[in-house]
Amino acid sequence: MDEHAVDLDRHVRGYLIVFGALLLGTLLTVVAAYWLHLPLALSVAVALLIACFKGSLVALYFMHLISERKLIYVVLAFTALFFLALLFGPFLTDLDAVSL
C-alpha cells in the first residue's frame, strides 16, 4: 500500500511542476508582450514559441501522451508539418510581392 502512495506522490509532484512551468510560460508571455517592447513580428514569434512550449507540456503530461507509443509521435509530427505547410505556404507563393 505504501508503494502506491509514493507513486501517486511522484505523479502529483510532476503535475505541480508542469503547472508551475505553465504559469512561468504565461508570465514570460506577458513580459514579452508588455515590457520588452519588441517589434510586432518578433513579439508574435516569441509568444507563439512560448505557446507551443506550453501546448506541448499540456499534451505530454495532462493528456498522458508522454507514455504513448511511437505511432503517436509520427502522427503528431505529420500534423505539425502539415500545419506549418498551411501556415507558410501562402507566403512562399507570394514572394514577389514582398520586398526583402
Q: What's the confidence (pLDDT) of residue 65?
A: 78
* Cell numbers representing residue 46 in the block: 516569441
C-beta separation of 66 from 60 below 8 A: yes
For the stretch 19-38, pLDDT in tens is: 999 999 999 999 988 888 88
- Mean pLDDT, the chain, as a whole number? 85
pLDDT at 51 over 90: yes
CB-based contacts of 78: which residues, under 8 Å, 6+ apart?
A: none
Give dist(CA 83, CA 78) in Å, integer. Answer: 9
Q: What's the confidence (pLDDT) of residue 3?
A: 66
**Identity of residue 90:** P
Q: What's the confidence (pLDDT) of residue 69?
A: 80
CB-based contacts of 47: which residues, under 8 Å, 6+ apart?
A: 29, 32, 33
pLDDT at 79 over 60: yes
